[in-house]
Chain A
């Protein structure tokens, strides 16, 4: 816990927390301003839109905002975790820390918990603030906001774990770029997989499923979208959601969550093994 606390303290001292809070407040305020102007929208006959239609538009905007938020979290997770171990090895900081009677696993897990706490706290606070403000302004609330935020946080945990594993062997920049490229590939694979599913292309579906299992970020993104979209949208059937990254008609299966849980545990184990064997 000392390392976790140290990681959190570093983020605070280096003004990372302050920067993140300021940016989050700014984004929430700007999007709030945008939603407050929704009622000014007019149809082709210059009539105000009915409340139902406004709520439908709000729901699409919420998913768009969640999409942007998911990208911010992914980049944040990759760039927080990529230097977490690699930078301390390169700078020589570990030469002073590791001769102390601590296990290297304490360092890896401490870094993971510290960064996970940061990311989950930020996701929670920013997510609740954003959705709360939208509800206050428009009266619209997604069906399962807490679950949606949880899925976004889980997605960032996947990328955090992957980057931390890379950080035990790669330089910070290489590790960060690898994590983001893989994140992009997994996201594209999700879209292509949905197309393959619609057109009954088994090979395509299998290939994209494998990519989605190697880095299970897209599953959580889809879970977040599913919990954000109104029931009427997810009931529109698979055709509507085909190839559309902002639409989902079914939540990820339970097996996916089990796989993702095991994936995190296995990668953390590999990260510990890798760092344990590394010569400093």
Chain B
């Protein structure tokens, strides 16, 4: 059996009695792109520093590429882009990369090739001989990424790898992560950009107050429940029954109030982020004959049939939108943020 790329058991770190990381137990398989998410101060960077041997654990233990944390020779096979990326401003980009090759104990001939390849990968070939001190923050982050990619490492830690990059740079980073995965390398990605994580990660752990509050595959974490939003008018009792048969029905937004003043009876709920939203479980069809409806738990295969049945029942269908829970929504829900909504 192949050891996991990362395995930790009750790994904890306390600074002066304050817990930065509380009992992290997790496993990251080889070749996996693993997203590590959490709000500021959740303990993500502390965990990465522990895994790299930059910080010593207060309790617990861990293994990286089959060796205990901090094992010196294993570090030859690691790449790391720190969140706080800083390189010698008085060296050129090429010299910084060459220095890291030397520190990694690579032969001079191989180093030259690796440096050239890293410069190409991060788009710094034209600025290779300029001093790092003249680089913008984004270029320095690109250089950091180049340093992390040197020598085709088996495990790459990327701590907020796109924090200083423009949209093109972010796209490039996604491509680099995908190419690492194709090569069979493991990627440990710390990021606040949840859409980015959603695009590239196989599995995700969500950390809060130093504890993992959720871990699993993306589909597993987000949930397989699919939903559909429909904008309808003329919803009558048979149509309401058709909707109910497909799943839980929620009336999201009224089209207009009817003359009898039913709209006034609608409940107004406020979500955790403070946005008022009209929402009510469908209970009285006469209340909302017109507007947006959400059907949760519907089998996507049944959507065309539902639409056909609704039309047959005299309902006019203006829009049909499949809706999926995003990682951001799941993340906020886990952290007690805004409730699930499409």
Measured CB to CB, the nearest residue on chain B to A3 is B103
The yes or no answer to B112 lying at the interface (CB within 8 A) is no
> Do A96 and B85 touch across chains, with their CB atoms under 8 A apart?
yes
**Docked pose: A13 CA to B99 CA in angstroms:** 15
> Which residues of chain A from 96 to 117 have a CB within 8 Å of any chain B CB?
96-103
Measured CB to CB, the nearest residue on chain A to B100 is A100
B-chain residues with CB within 8 Å of residue A98 when the two chains form the complex: 52-54
Question: A145 to chain B: closest CB distance in Å?
Answer: 36
**Docked pose: A98 CA to B72 CA in angstroms:** 10
B-chain residues with CB within 8 Å of residue A6 when the two chains form the complex: 88, 99
> Do B88 and A10 touch across chains, with their CB atoms under 8 A apart?
yes
Question: B164 to chain A: closest CB distance in Å?
Answer: 14
**Docked pose: A2 CA to B74 CA in angstroms:** 20
Measured CB to CB, the nearest residue on chain A to B79 is A99
Quick one: CB contact mask for B38-75 with A, threshold 8 Å, 1 for yes? 00000000000100111110000000000000001111
A-chain residues with CB within 8 Å of residue B53 when the two chains form the complex: 98-99
> Do B72 and A99 touch across chains, with their CB atoms under 8 A apart?
no
B-chain residues with CB within 8 Å of residue A10 when the two chains form the complex: 88, 90
A-chain residues with CB within 8 Å of residue B100 when the two chains form the complex: 96, 100
The yes or no answer to B187 lying at the interface (CB within 8 A) is no
The yes or no answer to A95 lying at the interface (CB within 8 A) is yes
> Do A279 and B55 touch across chains, with their CB atoms under 8 A apart?
yes
> Do A13 and B80 touch across chains, with their CB atoms under 8 A apart?
no
Quick one: CB contact mask for A24-56 with B, threshold 8 Å, 1 for yes? 000000000000000000000000000000000
> Do B90 and A99 touch across chains, with their CB atoms under 8 A apart?
no
**Docked pose: A93 CA to B88 CA in angstroms:** 7
Measured CB to CB, the nearest residue on chain B to A100 is B103
**Docked pose: A68 CA to B55 CA in angstroms:** 43
Quick one: CB contact mask for B88-107 with A, threshold 8 Å, 1 for yes? 10110000000110111100
Apart from A10-B90, A101-B105, 13 more pairs, CB < 8 Å: A2-B99, A2-B103, A6-B88, A6-B99, A92-B86, A96-B80, A96-B147, A100-B75, A101-B72, A101-B75, A101-B103, A277-B56, A280-B54
18 cross-chain CB contacts under 8 A? A2-B99, A2-B103, A13-B91, A91-B86, A92-B82, A92-B84, A92-B85, A95-B80, A96-B80, A97-B103, A98-B53, A99-B52, A99-B75, A100-B75, A100-B100, A101-B103, A102-B103, A279-B15
Top 7 closest pairs, chain A to chain B, by CB? A100-B103, A92-B84, A95-B82, A13-B90, A279-B55, A92-B86, A101-B75
